[in-house]
């Protein structure tokens, strides 16, 4: 009698256990579905934006470059002069690190520290030694130690990793800061200080910060 009761009890326990496994989806099936969800690619987000008078630029978290707006001078960088009403990817590179939109030109940095520019170049603001407009990104020089950039109205300023300040382009109002009013066709070092930490190029003036927190302006 005890043996029969023991067997009966074991059967009940086994039936309940089987029912629980069935209701939970067998564990393995559920984890398979969950695993599929967790392995999906993360959503690509917008990371950095820069907008000036007529066009807009943006970087995504995957390092791609996008642009839209007015494109008469090729400032979008897509190889055309066609205006774009929504974001279009510029090339296929995925190593863009920073961007800055000027009035009609664009400058950008890559993760390897190289400097690139495109768009209007009538006032030497691209820094490639010419006054030729560029409709797609062109590398400016061969240096790979650029750290920060700012495109102004018709001039460009930049910092290097050693804290030096550089500028080029239109200089009628002294906005380059080299003590002259001479336009510069390529990057020139401004002074000899190595403690610059931030820069901003305005329409025809420039602002900068030093490591000691002091503010500087010219143009």
User: What mean pLDDT value characterizes the chain?
Assistant: 87
String of b and e for 42-75 (b: at least 16 CB within 10 Å)? eeeeeeeebebeebbbbbbeeebbbbbbbbebbb
What pLDDT does 47 receive? 95
pLDDT digits (tens, 9 = 90+) for 202-212: 999 999 999 99
73/22: higher pLDDT: 73
- Per residue in 27-48, pLDDT (tens digit) is 333 333 333 344 455 677 999 9
Report the pLDDT averaged over residues 10-17.
44
Environment class of 138 (CB within 10 Å of its CB; exposed 0-12, middle 13-18, buried 19+) = middle
DSSP β-bridge partners for residue 134: 119
Please give the model's pTM, rounded to 2 decimal places. Answer: 0.80
* Averaged pLDDT for residues 120-138: 98
Convert the pLDDT of each residue in 62-114 to its tens digit: 999 999 999 999 999 999 999 999 999 999 999 999 999 999 999 999 999 99
* Per-residue confidence (pLDDT) for residue 110, from 0 to 100: 98
What's residue 44's pLDDT?
78
> In this model, does residue 25 exceed pLDDT 80?
no
Q: pLDDT for 167-217, tens place per residue? A: 999 999 999 999 999 999 999 999 999 999 999 999 999 999 999 999 999
């Amino acid at each position: 009698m005890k043996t029969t009761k023991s067997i009966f009890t074991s059967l009940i326990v086994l039936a309940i256990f089987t029912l629980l496994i069935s209701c939970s989806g067998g564990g393995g099936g559920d984890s398979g579905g969950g695993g599929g969800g967790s392995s999906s690619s993360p959503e690509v987000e917008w990371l950095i934006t820069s907008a000036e008078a007529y066009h807009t630029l943006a970087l995504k978290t995957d390092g791609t470059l996008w642009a839209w707006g007015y494109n008469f001078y090729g400032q979008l960088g897509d190889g055309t002069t066609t205006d774009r009403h929504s974001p279009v990817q510029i090339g296929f590179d995925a190593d863009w690190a920073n961007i800055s939109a000027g009035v009609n030109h664009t400058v950008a940095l890559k993760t390897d520290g190289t400097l690139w520019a495109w768009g209007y170049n009538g006032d030497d603001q691209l820094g490639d030694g010419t006054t030729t407009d560029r409709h797609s990104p062109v590398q400016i020089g061969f240096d790979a130690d650029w750290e920060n950039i700012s495109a102004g109205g018709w001039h460009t300023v930049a910092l290097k990793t050693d804290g030096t300040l550089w500028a080029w382009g239109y200089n009628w109002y002294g906005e380059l800061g080299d003590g002259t009013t001479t336009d510069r066709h390529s990057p020139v070092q401004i002074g000899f200080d190595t403690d610059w930490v931030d820069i901003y190029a305005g329409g025809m003036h420039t602002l900068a910060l030093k490591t000691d927190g002091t503010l500087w302006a010219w143009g």
